[in-house]
Amino acid sequence: MKPAGALPAETKRRHMSELADYREKLYRKPFLRSLFLELTTRCNERCLHCGSSCGDIVREELSPEQYREFLAKIKSDFGTANPRICLTGGEPLMRRDFFEIAQMIHELGFRWGMTSNATLIDKAAAEKLERFGMRTISVSVDGLRESHDSFRRTPGGWDAAMRGIQNLIDRRAFQDVQITTVVHKGNIDELEQMYQLLLGVDIDSWRVINIDPIGRAKLHPELLLDAGDYRRMFDFIAEKRREGMPVLYGCEHYLGAGFEREVRDWYFLCNAGRYTAGIRSNGDIGACLDIEPRPGLIEGNILRDDFTRIWQEGFKPYRRDLADSDEKCRDCAEKRFCAGGAFHSFDFDKMEQQVCFKSVLF
C-alpha cells in the first residue's frame, strides 16, 4: 500500500479535530478491535528495551482450557469479526502448548496474529501457523546483525530471525509479514542499510518505532534518542514512504501537524482501553500490555471477573483525556489532538508524560 501524498496543515487539523470528536465518543462507547493475550513472560532473548522485562522468570500462565472458556465467552458476547486476537509474550512460541492454543483460536473462528522474535519459526512451525489460520505477524529485527544481537543480547539471534521470516514468506499464505525495528542510539545509523537490505526481502511492511523509557530501557538511558535523532528518524520514514516503501511509524505518539499522516496512514489515537485490551499471562485484565501493571490500572482477572462487563463499565482511567492529569498538558494548544499522549509512556508516579514531541517536531 502506497502512502498518501502530503496534505496541507489545515486539512490535517480538520481531520484531527474530527478524530478528537470521535475519541470523545469512544470514551462513552468503546469498540473492542484488538485483544492481546500475553501467553507467557518467558523469552529466549534478553532485550535491553523490553517493556515487560521478560526472560527466564516464569510467572503464572493460563492453561489452554482457561483460554478456551474465556474466548468462548468473548465469541458469545462480541462475535468473531471483532476483536482480532493477538498472541504475544515474552516469546509466545516458548509455550509447548502454543499450537494447541492457536488451533483452538482458529476453530473458534477468530482472526488472529502474533508478535514474535521468529527465532523458533522453522519450516514446520511456519506450516502450522498457516494451517491454524494466522493472518499477521510482526517480527522484531532491531538493526543489522551485530547491533541486533547486542541489543537483544542473543548471539545468532539476527540470523535465526531472518531464517524465521523467510520461512514465513515461503508459505505465501499470510496477510502481513511485518518487521518491527526499535530505533535507538546504537542502530539509528543503520536505517539506510536496513532499508537497502529489506528491499530484497519480500515483507509486507516495515514498522519503525523509537525506544521509549519503559521497562528495561529505563536502565539504559544512553540508548534513548535526542531531538536530532527523532527528526532524523521521522524524516527517514517520510522519505521512504514517498518512494513507495511500506514503512510506517507505530501508533505510539502524537507528532504534530507536520509529521502526522506523513509517517503513518492515519493520525495519532492511543488505543488503550478504547480499541484495545490485554490479558496478562496470569489472567489480569488491562489495556495496552506495554502499560505498567500497577494498582489502579489492572481492571480485574478473567478467572474471577466478567470481562465484557468490565470492558463496558470499567477502564475508567482510559476513558478520558490523559492531559487532564498532567499540569504541563492542560493548557497546551495541541491538547485537543494529543489528549496527553500515550498511556504506556506516562509516568503515573510523577503524573507527567515522559515522551512529548512538542518543541522537538513542532
Query: Tell me: the pLDDT tens digits for 223-273?
Result: 999 999 999 999 999 999 999 999 999 989 999 999 999 999 999 999 999
pLDDT for position 55 = 61
Mean per-residue pLDDT for 54-68? 85
CA–CA separation, 173 vs 338, rounded Å?
37
User: Is the Cβ–Cβ distance between 130 and 171 less than 8 Å?
Assistant: yes
Three-state secondary structure along 187-216? Answer: CHHHHHHHHHHHCCCCCCEEEEEECCCCHH
pLDDT, tens only, 332-358? 999 999 999 999 999 999 999 999 999
2 or 115: which leads in pLDDT: 115
pLDDT for position 117 = 98
The helix-helix angle for 157-171 and 123-131 (nearest 10°) equals: 40
Question: Which H or E run contains 183?
Answer: strand 176-183
- What are the CA-CA distances from residue 244 to residues 12, 206, 278, 291 (Å)? 21, 12, 33, 33
- The position carrying cell 474465556 is 70
CA–CA separation, 345 vs 215, rounded Å?
10
pLDDT for position 1 = 39
Q: Is the pLDDT of residue 59 over 90?
A: no
Q: What percent of the chain has pLDDT over 90?
A: 94
Q: Is the pLDDT of residue 3 over 80?
A: no
Q: Is the pLDDT of residue 290 over 60?
A: yes
Strand order in the sheet with 84-88: 247-249, 205-210, 176-183, 134-140, 112-116, 84-88, 34-38, 276-279, 284-286, 300-301
